[in-house]
Chains A and B, each alone.
Chain A
Amino acid sequence: MSSEQKILSTDGIPLEESLKQAEKKNKIKAFLLVTPLLLFLIITYIIPIADMFSRSIDDKMVTNMLPKTYKAMEQWDGKELPQEEVFEAFYLDYKILVENKTAGRLQTQLNYEKNGFKSVLKKLARKQKKFEEGNYKEQIMKVHKRWRNVDYWRAIKRRAPAYTYSKYLKGVDMYSNEEGKIVQVAEDRRIHRILWSRTLEVAFFVTLFCFLMAYPIAHLLATLPMKYSNLLMICVLLPFWTSLLVRTASWMILLQQQGLVNDFFVWIGLVADDNRPEMMYNKTGTYVAMTQILLPFMVLPLYSVMKTISPSLMRAGKSLGATPGVAFFKIYFPLTIPGIGAGCLLVFILAIGYYITPALVGGASGTLISNQIAYHMKSTLDWSFASAMGLMLLTGVLVIYWIYNKLVGVDNIKLG
C-alpha cells in the first residue's frame, strides 16, 4: 500500500483516515445516546446489586464493637485461656458498650455463636461496675464460671474476621461449627433446602403446565384466519395487560371453599358438599394461579414463531406420504423449538422469582424462596441474610439467562 499513492479526501486527509475518524465519531455518537440510561442503571441498579454482595458477607458489627479485644487476641493461640491483656481489653471494650447501651447487640450476636453467652454477658454488665483496677482476669472469672471455659473465648475469637460466608452457608442449611468445620444443621431445622427445592419444583411444573396449555392455543392462533385469531388473541392479551393483583384476587375468589370451582365440583358430584377440599393456601393454589398468570408469556413467543412457519411445509410432508402425526412431529414441532425455548425459559425465570401470588394464595406450604427473602427484609431485618439468599437466587437466574441468550438470543424477545 505504501508505495501506491494514497487516496485523499477533499480536505487533504487520506481517505482511509478520514473514514476511520467518521466511524469513530459515529461510534461516540451512538454511545452518547445510550450513556444516560446506562449511567442511570449502573448507579441506581447495578451497583446496588453488587453492593448486596458486600452486605451479605459483612460481619463488621462484632469486630467494631470489640476493637481492643481483637487486637489483644491476635497473639492468642486459642488453646488455653487467654492472657490478662485480653481480659483487660475485653473489659474496656465491654464497658464502653454498656455505657452506650449497645451491649444488647453484642449479647445477641455472641449468643448466636455460643448458647448461654447472653446470660453471662448480662451478669458481667451488672457486676463490672464494681470492678477494681488491675487483675481483670481474676475479677471476670469470678463473675461466672463460664468465663473460665475456653470455649467462650474461642467463640469471641471466631467473630474476629470482618467478613463471613456464614450467611451463604445458612442459606443452604449449613454452618461452620466450633472447630471451624462446615456441617449441616439438624434435620428438623433444614427449612431453606426445602424452600429451594420447592421453588425449583414449582417453577418447573408451572413451566410444564404453561407449555402444555400454550402449545395448542398458540397453534390455533397461528393457523386461524386473521379475523378470528385477532379476536382470540384478546383472550391472551387481556390477562397479560391486567393487574397481577386483580388476577390473584380472582383466583382467591374462585378457589375459596365456597368458591365457584368447589361449587362446580360439588355439582358434578366429584366431592361431597360437606367435604369441600381446601384449594387455596397450599401448593394447588400456587400452581393454578401461577399457571394462569404466566400463560401469556408462553403463548406470545410460541405464537410469534408459529406464525412464521409456512403451512405448505406440512402439506408437502403429507403429500409425500406422512401421516398427520408424523408430519407434525418431524416437520412442525422441530420448527417451533426456538419458540418453546424462549417461552419456557421466560416462564421459568419469572416463576422462580415469584413473590406476590405465592404469598397470597400459597399459605405455608406454597411459599417460595422470594417470600423468605421478603420475610427477612421486613420482619427479622436480617438484611445480610436476605442479600445472601437474593444473590444465590440471582446467580441461578443469571445462569438460566445465559443459557437463554446462547439458545435464543436476548434480542429475540418479543412483546405482543
Chain B
Amino acid sequence: MALPKYTEPHYRVWHYFYLFVCGCVFFFLIAPLFVIFPLSFNAEEFLVFTDGMKRLDPDAFSTRWYKDMVYGTKNPWGLAAKNSFIIAIFATIGSIILGTLAALGLSSRHMPYKGLIMATLISPMIVPLIISGVAIFFFMAKVGLAATHLGIILAHIILGTPFVVITVTATLSGFDHSITRAASSLGSNPFNTFMKITLPLILPGVISGGLFAFVTSFDEVVVVLFLAGLDNTTIPVQMWTGLREQLSPTILAVATCLIVLSILILLTAELLRRRSERLRGINR
C-alpha cells in the first residue's frame, strides 16, 4: 500500500500508525501458536525457554516429548488419537450426507417454511455448547448411548451438520438449475442427475463443509466431556485433563501435531475455495 506522493505529512503518520496497529493485531493472532512449537522440543521438563534454548544450544533441544507421546506407557494418546479419528470420520460422513440432502431441499425455491427450517437446522451452531452438551447428554443417557462411540458420533453429527448446510447452500446459490433440468429432459433419473451433474459441481462446497464438520468433531470437548467414558476418550479430552492437572511438554508435542494438522486442513480448504471460485467464475 504505497501512499500517493501528494499525501500530507500528518496523514502519512496516521497511515503508518494504522499499519503498525494492523501488524500488532496480526502478531497477536498468530504469534501464540508459534510459542508452542519450539517449547515442544525442550529438553527440560519446564515450560519456559531455558538459557540453553535462548543460546540455540543443540543440547537444549530434544524430541523426548514426542517419543513420550508415542511410546509413553502411561500415555493414553494412542487410544485418544484412534478414537478421535474414528469419531471424527464417521461424524463427518454423517454430517455430509444429512447436511447435503437438507441443503438441496433448502435451496429449492419450492421449499415451504424456509426461514424457520433453516433456523432450526443451524441452531446447534448458535446454542451455547454447554447447553447442547447438557441436552444431548440427557438424551443419550435416556436411550443408553452415553459412553459409547455411537453416542458421541451422533452428538458430533448434530454439531457438524450446520456447517455443511451453510457451505452447501452457499455453493448452491450460484447453481444453474437448468442444467439438471437438461439432464432429466435427456432421460437421466434423479439419482444419476445428482451423482453426475449436481454433485461434481457442488463438491467443493460439500468438501469444505465436511472439513468444518471434521474439525468441529476433532476439536470438540464440551459435549464429549459429558458423554465420554474411559474407553471413548479423545485427544481434546486428554488435552483438557492434562491442562487442568499439569501442563506437561508432552501436551505441547501433541499440540504441535495438531497445529500441523490444522495447517494441512487450512491449505486444503484454501485450494478448494479457489477452485470453487474459479468454477463459479466460468459459470458466469
**Bound: A45/B132 CA distance, A:** 8
**CB contact between B112 and one of A31, A44, A387 (< 8 Å): that residue:** A31
**B48 interface residue, CB < 8 Å from A?**
yes
Considering only CB atoms, which chain B residue lies closest to A345 in the complex? B126
**B188 interface residue, CB < 8 Å from A?**
no
Interface size class of B (residues with CB under 8 A): 35 or more
Contacts of A247 in B (CB 8 A): 32-33
Q: Binary interface profile of A, 371-410, with partner B (CB < 8 Å = 1, else 0)?
A: 0011001100001001100110110010001000100001
Binds B, one of A58-66, A100-108, A235-243: A235-243
**CB contact between B127 and one of A30, A250, A397, A416 (< 8 Å): that residue:** A397
Q: Binary interface profile of B, 187-220, with partner A (CB < 8 Å = 1, else 0)?
A: 0000000000000000000001000100100110
Say whether chain A's binding surface is mostly helix, strand, loop, or mixed: helix
Residues of chain B in range 232-284 having any CB-CB distance to chain A below 8 Å: 236, 239-240, 243-244, 247, 251-252, 255, 258-259, 262-263, 265-266, 269-270, 273
Q: A34-B101, A242-B259 in contact; A26/B22 too (CB < 8 A)?
A: no
Contacts of B123 in A (CB 8 A): 41, 45-46
**B122 interface residue, CB < 8 Å from A?**
yes
**CB contact between A394 and one of B118, B131, B239, B240 (< 8 Å): that residue:** B131
Q: A23-B110, A213-B28, A377-B226 in contact; A37/B98 too (CB < 8 A)?
A: yes
Q: A33-B105, A224-B1, A247-B32 in contact; A52/B266 too (CB < 8 A)?
A: no
**A322 interface residue, CB < 8 Å from B?**
no
**A353 interface residue, CB < 8 Å from B?**
yes
Contacts of A355 in B (CB 8 A): 128-130, 222
Instruction: Give the shortest distance, in Å, between B224 (CB) and chain A (any CB).
Output: 11
Binding site for B on A (CB under 8 A): 23, 26-27, 29-38, 40-42, 44-49, 51-52, 55, 213-214, 216-217, 220, 223-224, 232, 234-239, 241-254, 256, 258-260, 292, 295-296, 324, 349, 352-356, 359-360, 370, 373-374, 377-378, 383, 386-387, 390-391, 393-394, 397, 401, 405, 410-411, 413-416
Of the A-B pairs whose beta carbons lie under 8 Å apart in the complex, a sample of 28, sorted by A's number, is A30-B106, A30-B112, A31-B111, A34-B106, A36-B102, A37-B101, A40-B158, A45-B139, A52-B131, A213-B28, A220-B22, A224-B1, A234-B270, A238-B30, A242-B33, A243-B258, A243-B262, A244-B221, A249-B243, A249-B247, A250-B255, A252-B243, A252-B247, A292-B32, A353-B130, A373-B130, A397-B128, A401-B126
